[in-house]
Structure 1
Amino acid sequence: MITSPIWLPATLVAGALQAWRTAVQRRVSDTLSLNGAGLVRYLYGIPFTITLLALYRVLFPHPWPRMDANVLFFCAAGGLAQIIATNLLISAFRYRNFVAGTAYSKTEAVQGAALSFLLLGERLPPLAWIGIGFGVAGVMLLSTGGRKMGLMDFLRALGQPAAVTGIASGFFFALTAIGIRRATQGVHTDTPIFAALIILAMTVPMQTVMQGGWLLWREPAEMRRVFSSWRVSGQVGFLSALGSACWFTGFATAPVALVRIVGQVEVAFTMAFGHFYLRETMRRSEVAGLVLVATGVVLALAGAL
């Protein structure tokens, strides 16, 4: 159920910010370990998430809302799923290039649609499912990296480490969306942006404790490098906070599957950042994949709105 039209611009902005943040984080991952690169988005995101919430309350004063007892649980569950998803995505980058790694993770649209139906009872019209099909076809074409493949070659490629980690990343990103949507539903306010910012400010410190505690236990020496990378890592935290605020607003106001389908526009921004920021070559197959993704988004919107 769509409760506010704000979800659409919030999702489009979230896609752009996530592509930008992921491109910067990709560079951080060249100098930090897997868990160190994952931690920076939460650790350096804390001051920005708190600032966003405080700024919103100053500009739009609202009484503090009542919250259900299970909100903390869903924040923790969604936050842990996002940590796992991010680590898997960074791993996919190390196997393949930036665009291909992101493309595999974007299978979260169809995974999110199935999981939100099973866990939340959210339904989509047939045209939206057709849109999902176009989107998945587009991201799969992007994942080939311009290589010509037969059916068996493509199926074998799905068993490669980059594909396995990327698709698994999409699964956990879908679980993240479901956890955050359930958390925002437990915040009783008629202002979805306020609910989203509250959940964000609760979730990010929990994620910092979870992944930071793991890093201190398993890789204590890495913590020093995390702090010494503050110039670039601060950018990751800032972009992550803004992007998550937009994603959380989308999840608070529209079905998970619809937000994730439209969120596939991230691949367009990903291609741009991969080409101009990371100097990766753009192929004709990637342009064709982008057209399929765009078609899927349009069909999904036409079916759901």
Structure 2
Amino acid sequence: MTFPLWLPATLLAGALQAWRTAVQRRVSKTLSVNAAGLVRYLYGAPVAVAMMLAYQLLIAPAAVPALGRWFLPFCALGGLAQIVATNLLLMAFGERNFVVGTAYSKTEAVQSAVLSIVLLGDRLSLPTWLGIGFGVTGVMVLSAGGKRMTPAELVRALGQLAARYGIASGFVFALTTIAIRAATQEVATPDHVRAALVVLAVTVVLQTLMQGGYLVWRERDQVAKVFAEWRVAGQVGLMSSVASACWFTGFASAPVALVRIVGQVEVAFTMGFAHFYLGERTAKSEVAGLLLVAIGVVLALVGAW
């Protein structure tokens, strides 16, 4: 059996995303929500286009692949959905119960699984479903930040606006992954990396135009600040594009639910960064959450084989 491409791509994506999040905290202190979001796309677009051209012309030269008629709409939908999902998540954070909003946003893996079955016809094995259950539970425990929340409390929290924003965020993030996978299927090539890089380059350029246009329209004073923060913002853009290239490669070569559940190792990288680099203590509940995530990943991999 050949080693699946999506697995190392997904693990690398999780590590890079955790690193990018840590760096992005610095620019988020001086920029608005929309400006901080634009940084990822504006500074990431040249990197994405360069990676696509390097792969197409130098690494694996080949004819330019044909694009299906739904390619551009799927890229636009995926890019817009990611922007909307991020804003919904921030709205959940802005409500009175930060923990509830965060916890419910982590249902994305389950929602991705359901959407992939309904919209893409993906099929998942029983171990993979169990892995999704363990993984989502583990991430929800971690998102509680040490606060104990019983299942009954989580159910009661459904009445809170934070929970609704969180669920909506998870749904739109799931829709993002479905749209991106569909876009890669519109690229006429058996090379999953090539398809992923083409989709990434087009999507990030569209996101730059969408969120950049909004910033010029509604928050013009933030435009100069985006360029003033180029040193740190450039790092964010670089890591965002490389991480997205890995995510998109995973989506192109495996069911999105499987990629998402394995990609939850991102929380382990984030916890490791916080513990070893920032010197933060790890609570017992966080250890339990990491263990659940690990069990979920193992079950998902067993199901994949």
Tell me, which stretches of 5 or more residues in structure 1 are unaligned?
none
Q: Which amino acid aligns with 1:81?
A: A
Q: For the Cα contact (< 8 Å) 1:128–1:301, is it kept in 2?
A: yes
Q: For the Cα contact (< 8 Å) 2:101–2:164, is it kept in 1?
A: no
CA distance in 2, matches of 1:18, 1:298: 21
Deviation of 1:140 after TM superposition, in Å, equals 1.6
Q: For the Cα contact (< 8 Å) 2:43–2:238, is it kept in 1?
A: yes
CA distance in 2, matches of 1:42, 1:229: 14
Residue number in structure 1 paired with 2:34? 35
Distance 1:149 1:255, change over 3 A: closer
Distance 1:258 1:167, change over 3 A: same
Tell me, which stretches of 5 or more residues in structure 2 are unaligned?
none
Matched, 1:271 2:305: no
Residue number in structure 1 paired with 2:145? 145
CA distance in 2, matches of 1:151, 1:252: 35
Deviation of 1:110 after TM superposition, in Å, equals 0.7
1:169-201 residue CA offsets vs partner (Å, 9 max, x unmatched): 322221111101111101011211011101111
Residue number in structure 2 paired with 1:253? 253
Deviation of 1:27 after TM superposition, in Å, equals 2.6
Residue number in structure 1 paired with 2:15? 16
Matched, 1:289 2:279: no
Deviation of 1:163 after TM superposition, in Å, equals 4.6
Q: For the Cα contact (< 8 Å) 1:135–1:264, is it kept in 2?
A: yes
Distance 1:32 1:43, change over 3 A: same
Deviation of 1:269 after TM superposition, in Å, equals 1.1
Q: For the Cα contact (< 8 Å) 1:98–1:274, is it kept in 2?
A: no
Deviation of 1:224 after TM superposition, in Å, equals 1.1
Residue number in structure 1 paired with 2:47? 48
After TM superposition, the structure 1 = structure 2 runs for residues 23-172 of structure 1, keeping only pairs within 5 Å, are 23-57=22-56, 58-91=58-91, 104-157=104-157, 163-172=163-172
CA distance in 2, matches of 1:187, 1:214: 29
1:52-79 residue CA offsets vs partner (Å, 9 max, x unmatched): 1121121210110111011000000001
Q: Which amino acid aligns with 2:28?
A: S
User: What is the TM-score with the length of structure 1 in the denominator?
Assistant: 0.91
RMSD of aligned alpha carbons: 2.4
Deviation of 1:100 after TM superposition, in Å, equals 9.0
Segment of structure 1 superposing worse, 102-111 or 263-272: 102-111
Matched, 1:192 2:192: yes
Deviation of 1:31 after TM superposition, in Å, equals 1.3
User: What is the TM-score with the length of structure 2 in the denominator?
Assistant: 0.91
CA distance in 1, matches of 2:172, 2:279: 29
Q: For the Cα contact (< 8 Å) 2:138–2:293, is it kept in 1?
A: yes
Q: Which amino acid aligns with 2:116?
A: S
Residue number in structure 1 paired with 2:225? 225
Q: Which amino acid aligns with 2:15?
A: A
Residue number in structure 1 paired with 2:181? 181
Q: For the Cα contact (< 8 Å) 2:97–2:162, is it kept in 1?
A: no
Partner SS for 2:30: coil
CA distance in 1, matches of 2:42, 2:96: 27
Question: Matched residue pairs, number?
Answer: 303
CA distance in 1, matches of 2:213, 2:188: 32
